[in-house]
């Protein structure tokens, strides 16, 4: 009997729902429905270039970044990310990582990444939530592109308040000295891809890149599911 048969049987007793629109998923849909995927606006190359200029170019820490989608408040992608963050939808996180690979994989391959590092959560936040949502996105991406994920390189040592309500300058101050590199030897001379769920100001990614470079990382790149303007 085919896997599809079992998925159909499973769906009959325990229907699966798309986290983006709450509609029932069909057997062949993998965690997120096609309607949702198709309605999330794609980040064009020119938008990525503009956002790179705004968030990363003057600091010269991040050598390149990519994100398949544009983040919109109260829309499908926000619901999808919330389901990973707050409802333990790990498979959805993995799927989002696969989608990043499908759309941005060719560019990421040109960066010759040695390993992927998800932006870490503070251990108190992690203890509270039980997991780091960016890790699952990183895992899906890494598996698709055959790049290892290293979760233990970076540690968050400062409990930062939620960044959302802060201005750009406040965010940069808030994030200062928030991270520590744990395995400096592993980092030396390596090209590292940092994964965050959504890129907002870029302050977190710049700070991660800064400390990784401080201990001898070669080039730091960044990726996320979406870019917020
Ligand atoms: Zn949907």
Domain range summary for the chain, segments of one domain joined by +? 1-39, 41-227
CATH 2.30.30, applies to 41-227: no
Per the confidence metrics, is the pTM higher than 0.85?
Answer: yes
Q: State the CB neighbour count (10 A cutoff) for residue 10.
A: 12
Give the distance (Å) from ligand 1 centre to CA of residue 51: 27
pLDDT band at 156 (very low <50, low <70, confident <90, very high): confident
Q: Where are the beta strands (DSSP E) in 80-218?
A: 115-118, 154-156, 179-181, 191-199
Please work out, in degrees rounded to the nearest 5, the angle formed at the alpha carbon of residue 95 by the alpha carbons of 90 and 96.
95
Cα of 83 from ligand 1 centre, angstroms:
12
Q: What 3-state class would DSSP assign to 133?
A: helix
Q: What is the pLDDT of residue 88?
A: 84
* Cα(26) to centroid(ligand 1), Å: 11
Ligand 1 midpoint to CA 104 (Å): 21
Q: What share of the chain is helix, strand, coil (3-state, %, to 5)?
A: 50, 15, 35
Cα(24) to centroid of ligand 1, in Å?
8
How many residues in the chain?
A: 229
Q: What number is the average pLDDT over the span 78-99?
A: 92
Task: Give me ligand 1 centre to Cα 141, in Å.
Answer: 21
On the question of pLDDT at 166 being above 80, the answer is: no
Q: From ligand 1's centre to the CA of 145, what distance in Å?
A: 25
């Amino acid at each position: 009997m085919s896997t599809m048969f079992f998925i159909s049987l499973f769906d009959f007793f325990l229907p699966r729902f798309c986290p983006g629109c709450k509609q029932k998923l069909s057997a062949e849909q993998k965690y997120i429905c096609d309607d949702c995927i198709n309605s999330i606006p794609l980040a064009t190359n020119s938008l990525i270039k503009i956002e790179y200029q705004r968030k990363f170019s003057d600091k010269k820490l991040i050598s390149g970044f990519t994100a398949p989608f544009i983040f919109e408040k109260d829309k499908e992608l926000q619901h999808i990310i919330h389901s990973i963050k707050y409802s333990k939808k790990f498979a959805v996180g993995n799927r989002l990582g696969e989608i990043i690979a499908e759309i941005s994989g060719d560019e990421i391959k040109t960066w010759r990444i040695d390993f992927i590092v998800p932006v870490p959560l503070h251990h108190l936040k992690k203890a509270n939530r039980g997991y780091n949502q960016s890790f699952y996105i990183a895992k899906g991406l890494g598996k698709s592109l055959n790049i290892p994920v290293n979760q233990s390189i970076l540690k968050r040592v400062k409990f930062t308040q939620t960044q959302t309500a802060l201005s750009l300058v406040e965010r940069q101050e808030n994030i200062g000295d928030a991270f520590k590199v744990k395995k400096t030897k592993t980092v030396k001379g390596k090209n590292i891809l940092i994964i965050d769920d959504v890129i907002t100001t870029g302050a977190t990614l710049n700070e991660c890149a800064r400390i990784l470079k401080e201990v001898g990382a070669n080039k730091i790149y960044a990726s996320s599911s979406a870019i917020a303007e």
